Structure formats: C-alpha cells, structure tokens
Chain A
Amino acid sequence: MSTEFDQKVHVTLADANLQLAIYTATGRLKEKRIEAVAPDALPDYQELRTQANAIKKHAIDNLDHYLEQFERNVAAHGGKVVYCKDGTEVADFVLALAKERAAHLIVKSKSMTTEEVDLNERLEHHGLESVETDLGEYILQLARERPYHIVAPALHMTRYQVADLFERCLHVPRETVIEKQTALARSVLRQKFLAADIGISGANFLVADSGAVVIVENEGNARLTTSAPRIHIAIAGIEKVIPRAQDLATFLKLLARSATGQLLSVYTSFLSGPRRAGEIDGPDEFYVVLLDNGRTRLLPDKAKRQSLYCIRCGACLNTCPVYRKIGGHSFPWVYSGPIGAILTPQFMGVQHEPALPFASSLCGACGEVCPVKIDIPKILLELRSDTRKADAREHQNRLERLGFRAFAWLMTHPRLFEMAGRIGRSMGWPAGTKGPLGAWLSERDLPPLPAHSFREMWRRR
C-alpha cells in the first residue's frame, strides 16, 4: 500500500464521528434503494437492468455513430457541440466564450465530470467567479474540499462544521439549525443565479436522436443554472450518450431508485438547444462540451469497456463494506467506492495508486446493485492482474516468485503436501508479525490450527 492511501484510510478509521456519519448515511441510502427496487415495488427491476445494460453496450460499441448523431441534432436545434480532450481544452473554451461575451459570473450545478478537471480552480485562476449551487457542493467549495460521495457530496460534514464554515466565509452569525443554514444558502445563491452570465451544468444522459441533455436533481439549482443565465454550457463525458429519448423510460426508472430510493428525482430536465421562437425564457446560447479526458483509453479493452456504462448513481458506494469504512476521501481521485476503484486505475494508469484494486473484499455486492450491470468485481480482478504485471515489469520480486513456485509444486504433490501439513500443525503458527509476511499479517488474524487435516478426517469418516 502506498503511504498516502494507507494514511488516509487509517485517519478515517480512527475518527469515530466520521465512521458513524459514513455508516449512517450510506446505510440509509442503501435501505431506501432496497425498498425501491424490491419485487413488490418494481416487479420488472431485473429486466430493466438487463435492458439498461444492453442499451449502454450498444451505445458504447457504436460510440462514434451516436456522438455524431447527437452533434447533428444539437446543431439542428440551434446549439453547438464542442469536443475537448482534457481539462485545459474545457477551460480554454469557457474562458474564450466568457471573454467574448464579457461574462464574469458563472453558476454551476453539480457535475462529477467538471470535478475531474478542476474546472472551478482553472476558471478562478483566470479571474472568473464560478459558484457551485448544489447545497452540498457549495459547502465543499467554501471548504475547498472535493466530493465525499457521488450523490451525497458533503456526507462527511456535520451541521456544526457547516455553521463554522458559513460564519467564516459568509460573515454571518453562527447558525446550527439545518433548515436555517439551507435558507441562508438559498438566499446567497439566489442572487448569484439572477446575476450570472453563464450557467454550467453536467449531464446525466445525452440523447442522440433528440440532441438533448438530460439532468436529474432534487434542489432546483440545475434548472436555475440551465435556464436563468443567457448562456448554458453542459459538460459531459463522451460515454453519456444513449440512442433514443424512449430509452429514458428505462434509465430514469433505475437512476433515482438506485441513488436515493426515490421513484424519480424531483426535477428531470430534458433540454435541447436554446429557447425557441415564442418561448418566454431560457438561454439564448446552448453548448455541449463532450469531454474525453482519458475515456478513449478505456475503449480498446472489450472486457473493461463496460466501466463506461456507469450512470453515477452511487449505489455501489453505499453497499460496499470497504467504502463504508474508509470513506470517500481515502480514494486518490474524484470517483470513490467500487466504481472509483475501477475507473481511477483505467483513467490514470494502474501505477497511479496500485493498492486500489486490492482494497476490496471481492464480496460482489457492487456488481449486484449496479443498475446497468457493470461486472465491477471481475474488472477489479483484471485490474489486480494488470497491476501485478506492471509491477513485475518494474521490479520482479524474486523471493515472492520463488515462494509461489514452491507453493505450486507442493500443491501438486499430495503426499508431500500432507507431510508438510503435519509438520506445520505440530509447529504452530510463527509468533509475531515479522518477516516477509509481516505487513500482510499486521491487518489479519490467522485461524487456529486444527488438530486434523480435512484429508485425515475424510479418510476416517
């Protein structure tokens, strides 16, 4: 384990309040999901998962076709699609547009994709004010932290921490009542919405046959972001495209249920192009930024390509026994939990955080709850293999290789195996946690040695 990952994990494990916060919040989301997809609540849940998987597979396998179709249809409705390979290109595009339109204030609704490329920091660096408007994201922006969870970004913070933060950053009297904190954020952000020149949103889906961007949310900040300012820019990963508006009948039933247990999120916006002739309000300009940022690197591998099916519901985080202990900030990149453990190594390279695919008990819960049926456990295994191969290329551990070769030889010689077992049992486990297995044993307890081996018992039965 790298020291940084290791340290963050230990800090989280030692913080009793944080442990309680993570466990309670994920537990609640998990329970709500289970109720919402139970057979009496959603009888065709499994068929919907199968359908969602089939559509995502088809869309990703023909990604270029659907992106071009999407692009044509956005243009047909008066919008414009911009392809960007990385965060620098996204920032350059937004900065150039802001300069041309003399824009200064940007409101932003929640988007994991923009977190990937640190968009706010890049824009602020060039003198633009870019304000997060989702309550949780706003809190995190003030605290200068990144999201703790895909759908519950400020899951780790208490009302008292929020009170301190608001007092310090907004220069208001300390307020610890959550309703009043929310009202305060509403009034501060309302002024921003009404004054903003540009709204930047993410996208949950890009609909190819309509040229539409679909955004789901509960607060109303995404609706304000996309319809109050004169310019709307949606920033989305290229993998978000689905073929038809009709496919939303499948995805929308799965997304909110898997994320929070709601039947639908409070607001689902289906947006295509700027406001049309006769429409009273809405933006005059509509842009969709299609971001690569490493996604095309995942495409050649047919087995792991399915990582791009993810619809960011967060169900795998809530159900993961590892995430529920080590939390979101232990993870080395913006995506945490099981999906983070498979996306990060593929986007950043397996050497970025080699411990990541191994920080899993492979219990399989993440694969079971995934609404689009991504086989996360299998991908974790493949990434472990990739990591080991990369590792072996860098520095082959001769002792380890020798050890495994000896083990393989012993396992294929039953008599010798049995004899070794007898000798081992009579000697007992080595005491202490030193030696080459020290690090491994420091986190694990060995089971007591049995008096007889299984083979002996089998013979005597």
Chain B
Amino acid sequence: MSRDNILHRIRTALGRGAGQAVAEPPPARIRVPEVALEARVASLLERVRALAGEAWESTDPRGLVANAIAGKTAIASNAPCLAEWGITSLPGVRSGITDREELRELCAVADVGITSADYALGDTGTLVMLASPREARMISLLPPAHIAVVPRGRILTGLDELFSLLPNPAELTSSMVLITGPSRTADIEQILVRGVHGPGSLTVVVV
C-alpha cells in the first residue's frame, strides 16, 4: 500500500522512527494591533473601494439594499440579522431556502446574492464567511452581484485577529472563505477583467 511505503520512505530519509515525537514547532506569529473600531470601519470601506467594490456605512441597510436591488431578483441567506433589518422581506427577495438543489437553481438565475458575514477584516477589506445553516456557499458565488451586510462589531483588524479568535476554524465549519474584492482575472494579456466566475460586483454595507 502506498501510504505505508511513502511514510516509510519519509521516515528513512529524515532518520525518524514511526510515531517518534516531534519538537514544538516555532510559536505561531500572531500580532494583533490595537486599532479603534472607527479606524477599522474606515479602513474596510477604503480597501473595498480600492478593489472596485462598493462600500457604505449605513443606519438604514434596508433602504440601501432596496435601492441596490430595485427591479432585480435577489436571493438572501438565512442570517437572522438580514430578517431583523427587514432585508428578506424586500420585493424580489427570496430567502429561507434550506434545500441544496432548490438553492442552487435560485442562485443560478438570481441577479443578486445577499448575505451577512461572520467577520470582516479592516486592513485588507476582506469578508469572512463560514458555511452554516445561516450562510450557504452559493449565495456569495453564483449570482453576478454580491451584497454583504455586516454589523460593525464584527469588523476585526486583520488576519492575525481572525486566527486568534478562530485558532481552528474547522471546529466550526466545513468551509471558511475569505472574500477580498470582486472576482477577477488577468489571464489574457494581463488585462484586469472583473466577474469571471464569481460575482463581478461586490457591495459591503456596514451597519
């Protein structure tokens, strides 16, 4: 069996015995800077805009989203905050889907996918999305536009803070995705084109 062969070859090459203990790895390098919430929000908005996304801070997410999806079809995730803010009851919005096939069919034809985010990273302009009964993977992926509505308390400084809060994301979910800007490619002549497989339009609303 290749497994045992390969592991045996590795051990022989490294001069290690089976099950031999290892020294502690170098300590993980986690440095969480002190950044005030205001500055984290400002940085997030600035970074998302720099990546050609739209970014707003709003006390009226319902109105903002209503404007953005006027005349379009949208599918919203099951995140409770979207219902609380009245976004799921906007005209043209479907929500509350729990069946994979149904969700996929809806996402394949919807103009806009609306989600929340578990966290956002201020210094890189990143959304952090954990798959769960509240958030499906396809809503932020299949429709050509993605709107993410994020409570401001969820905005972290950056990767270091994320991994200090979630030292092992696999305990929580089968899929954690970091989204930094709209889908893009530069594979033909290095010309930047947005929206190649994922959404070409990304809007982040901080509440």
Which A residues contact B (CB, under 8 angstroms)?
21, 24-25, 28, 44, 47-48, 51, 54-55, 58-59, 61-65, 67-68, 73, 77, 83-85, 89, 133-136, 139, 152-155, 157-159, 162, 178-179, 181-182, 185-186, 189-190, 193-194, 207, 209-212, 218-221, 223-224, 227-228, 238, 243-250, 252-253, 260, 262-276, 278-282, 286, 290, 292, 296, 299-300
Kindly list chain B residues whose C-beta atoms are within 8 Å of the C-beta of A211. 170
Q: Which of B12-39 contact A (CB under 8 A)?
A: 13-14, 16, 18, 20, 22-23, 25-26, 28-31
Kindly list chain A residues whose C-beta atoms are within 8 Å of the C-beta of B83. none
A25 CA to B191 CA, complexed, in Å: 10
Contact of B163 with A85 in the complex, beta carbons under 8 Å: no
Say yes or no: is B97 at the interface (Cβ < 8 Å to chain A).
yes
Q: Which of B167-203 contact A (CB under 8 A)?
A: 167-171, 173-191, 193, 195-199
Contact of A159 with B188 in the complex, beta carbons under 8 Å: yes
Q: Of A194, A266, A272, A281, which is within 8 A of B198 by CB? A: A266
Say yes or no: is B141 at the interface (Cβ < 8 Å to chain A).
yes
Kindly list chain A residues whose C-beta atoms are within 8 Å of the C-beta of B196. 135, 182, 185-186, 219-221
Kindly list chain B residues whose C-beta atoms are within 8 Å of the C-beta of A238. 6, 10
Say yes or no: is B126 at the interface (Cβ < 8 Å to chain A).
yes
Number of B positions contacting A (CB below 8 A)? 78
Kindly list chain A residues whose C-beta atoms are within 8 Å of the C-beta of B126. 264
A218 CA to B14 CA, complexed, in Å: 36
Contact of A179 with B193 in the complex, beta carbons under 8 Å: yes
Kindly list chain B residues whose C-beta atoms are within 8 Å of the C-beta of A135. 185, 187-188, 196
Say yes or no: is B133 at the interface (Cβ < 8 Å to chain A).
yes
CB pairs A–B below 8 angstroms (26 shown):
A55-B26, A64-B7, A85-B6, A152-B187, A154-B188, A186-B196, A207-B170, A210-B170, A219-B184, A219-B197, A220-B197, A227-B141, A245-B166, A246-B28, A252-B159, A264-B126, A271-B174, A274-B174, A275-B174, A278-B132, A279-B131, A279-B173, A280-B136, A281-B104, A296-B9, A299-B10
Contact of A281 with B178 in the complex, beta carbons under 8 Å: no
Q: Of B2, B22, B104, B169, which is within 8 A of A89 by CB? A: B2
A424 CA to B125 CA, complexed, in Å: 66
Contact of B169 with A212 in the complex, beta carbons under 8 Å: yes
Say yes or no: is B116 at the interface (Cβ < 8 Å to chain A).
no
Shortest beta-carbon distance, B191 to chain A, in Å?
5
Shortest beta-carbon distance, B170 to chain A, in Å?
4
Q: Assuming A223-B141, A227-B137, A250-B29, what are 20 further A-B pairs, CB within 8 angstroms?
A: A25-B190, A83-B1, A83-B7, A133-B197, A134-B187, A136-B187, A159-B189, A220-B199, A244-B25, A245-B163, A248-B159, A263-B124, A266-B181, A266-B182, A269-B176, A272-B169, A278-B133, A279-B133, A279-B136, A292-B2
Kindly list chain B residues whose C-beta atoms are within 8 Å of the C-beta of A155. 190
Given contacts A65-B22, A178-B193, A296-B10, contact A275 B170 (CB under 8 A): no
Which of B6, B126, B163, B193 counts the most A-chain CB atoms under 10 A from its CB? B6
Shortest beta-carbon distance, A62 to chain B, in Å?
4
Contact of A292 with B163 in the complex, beta carbons under 8 Å: no
Which of A77, A212, A245 counts the most B-chain CB atoms under 10 A from its CB? A245
A330 CA to B164 CA, complexed, in Å: 45
A85 CA to B13 CA, complexed, in Å: 16
Kindly list chain A residues whose C-beta atoms are within 8 Å of the C-beta of B5. 85
Shortest beta-carbon distance, A367 to chain B, in Å?
21
Which of A21, A228, A272 counts the most B-chain CB atoms under 10 A from its CB? A272
Kindly list chain A residues whose C-beta atoms are within 8 Å of the C-beta of B137. 223, 227, 280-282
A274 CA to B100 CA, complexed, in Å: 14
Shortest beta-carbon distance, A25 to chain B, in Å?
5
A222 CA to B22 CA, complexed, in Å: 34
Residue of A nearest to B137 (CB): A227
Residue of A nearest to B190 (CB): A25
A219 CA to B178 CA, complexed, in Å: 13
Kindly list chain A residues whose C-beta atoms are within 8 Å of the C-beta of B190. 24-25, 28, 152, 155
Given contacts A219-B184, A248-B159, contact A68 B168 (CB under 8 A): no
Given contacts A186-B196, A223-B198, A266-B198, contact A218 B183 (CB under 8 A): yes
